[in-house]
Amino acid sequence: MATKRNNGPAPSRRDFLKTTAAMMGVGAAAGTFGGISCGPRGSAPIKVGIMHSLSGTMAISETSLRDVELMAIEEINAKGGVLGRQIQPIVEDPASDWPTFAEKSKKLLLRDEVCSVFGCWTSASRKAVLPVFEKNNGLLWYPVQYEGNECSHNVFYTGAAPNQQIGPAVTWLLKNRGKKFYLLGSDYVFPRTANGIIKGQLKAEGGELVGEEYTPLGHMEYSTVVNKIKSAKPEVVFSTINGDSNVAFYKQLRAAGITANDIPVMAVSVAEDEVRGIGGAVAEGHYAAWNYFQSVDTPENKVFVDKFRTKYGKDRVTDDPIEAAYFQVHLWAQAVAKAGSTEVDKIREAALGQEFKAPEGMVRLDPKNLHTWKTVRIGKIRADGQFDVVWATDGPVRPEPWDKIQFPKRDCDWTRGGTVENT
């Protein structure tokens, strides 16, 4: 997801104090500078970085990722840590500011010498830190679905690639809800890239495009858009709207008398957290495509949801990025254990092909492209704000970082040196 979600789980009082301390520069960075190296040295703790915005506009979304990553580290430490050593998280707050993300990355990699960083949400922040991780050979674990077309040796992508969310959703709609598509998105890189993929797919799979519209981020007046949709008479609306605008769109669509029975909306940026702000009554019957829903029925998920809500509050919900942030820490720990070392190159080598029974089901790090094999699901919004899973792939789907329509021959394969053109 390439921009902010203007809502998210409530930070606790402790978060607030921590955030405030960070903003005041009193020192959000836990731990000491220098001293312990990341290399294998007896029983000293293994240092990892956690780098999510805890203040500023993105705090709303990213704070939960910090919470769940700390929870995962606690779990691992409770079982004795990795290689007999405890894991010591170093939490940094880049404050929703992209240059600060780069600065904090440098600090974590060079001064704290952490062997992995769990971090970022927006594509903008990921793009800002990418050169830092590549230059210093660090490892970033990135838990949010994104627009694809990236192939880095220093990032493990644990959220969905476009083919693991958007593609299957389009195919499912064409089969089950109709051929006439109206594409609606916020006006920035992710929706435009996503809609490029969708249009290619519609052409290939026999769909029809009846309208395409982009609204500025934070757009609140959807009467004209709704009127255009009424005029265009689509069978489905595919929405890549992001942030607060979602609330305005669904409410005004409903006020204009269009229900999910008339024209269903399929969204890729509306998860449990967003539905809470829209209201289940308004959003009921519309769809979203993700790899994980809180309602996913696996034993692992039951334990995960209970644990998260016991730790952070009964009113909290889990959703796709939160779940990815959780399991990526476990994947990392397995890799370190297998590598028997905390050296970056060895961790990377060991991580490839790692599997973990995550709340969403089995996930696996692709041995070639550093993305994650994930199950794709389509959920239908219920009145209580949770999702009924109406369709899912049989098992994890192989991630394809490069968009097959724009770049039919391109592949990301680190066994062959990274981005390659197939002939």
Partner 1 sequence: MTSTTFLLGQLFNGLSYCSILLLIALGLAITFGLMGVINMAHGELMMLGSYAAYVLQNYFAKQLAAQYFGWYFVLALPLAFVVSGLAGLLLERSLIRRLYGRPLETLLATWGVSLILQQLMRQIFGANNVDVRSPGWLMGRWHVAAGLELPHLRLFIIAFTSTCLFLMYALLFRTALGLRIRAVTQNRDMSACLGVPTRKVDAYTFALGSGLAGFAGCILSLMGSVGPNSGQNYIVDAFMVVVLGGVGKLAGAIAGSFVIGQTNVLFESFSTATMGKVMVFTLVILFLQWKPSGVFPSKVRSLD
Tell me if 388 sits within 8 A of 372, measured CB to CB: no
> CA-to-CA distance for 267 and 373, rounded, in angstroms?
21
> CA-to-CA distance for 24 and 36, rounded, in angstroms?
27
CB of residue 100 to partner 1, shortest distance in Å: 18
> CA-to-CA distance for 93 and 25, rounded, in angstroms?
10
> CA-to-CA distance for 292 and 318, rounded, in angstroms?
9
Q: Does 86 bind partner 1 (CB under 8 A)?
A: no
Q: List the x/- string, 42-81, binding to partner 1 by CB under 8 A.
A: ---------------x-xx--x------------------
Nearer to partner 1, 48 or 247 (CB): 247
Q: List the x/- string, 280-309, binding to partner 1 by CB under 8 A.
A: xxx---------------------------
Q: Does 256 bind partner 1 (CB under 8 A)?
A: yes
CB of residue 195 to partner 1, shortest distance in Å: 13
**Looking only at residues 178 through 217 of this chain, which bind partner 1 when binding is defined by CB under 8 A?**
187, 213-216
Nearer to partner 1, 205 or 384 (CB): 384
Tell me if 333 sits within 8 A of 87, measured CB to CB: yes
Residues 6+ apart with CB under 8 A from 175: none
Instruction: Give residue 123's Cα distance to chain centre.
Output: 10
At residue 120, φ and ψ (nearest 5 deg) are 75, 160
> CA-to-CA distance for 22 and 406, rounded, in angstroms?
43
Which one of the spans 195-203, 226-234, 298-306, 396-404 is the region binding partner 1 (CB under 8 A)? Answer: 226-234
From the list 95, 108, 128, 278, which residue makes contact with partner 1 (rule: CB under 8 A)?
A: 278
Nearer to partner 1, 11 or 162 (CB): 11
Cβ neighbours, 10 Å, residue 28: 20
Nearer to partner 1, 54 or 90 (CB): 54
Residue in the block written with tokens 């992209």: 98
Cβ neighbours, 10 Å, residue 161: 28
**Residue 282: burial class (beta carbons within 10 Å; 0-12, 13-18, 19+):** buried
Which one of the spans 230-238, 288-296, 352-360, 395-403 is the region binding partner 1 (CB under 8 A)? Answer: 230-238
Which one of the spans 90-98, 123-131, 254-262, 326-334 is the region binding partner 1 (CB under 8 A)? Answer: 254-262
Q: Does 277 bind partner 1 (CB under 8 A)?
A: yes
Q: Which residues bind partner 1 (CB under 8 A)?
A: 6-11, 13, 16, 57, 59-60, 63, 187, 213-216, 218-221, 223-225, 227-228, 230-231, 233, 244, 246-248, 251-252, 254-257, 273-274, 276-282, 315
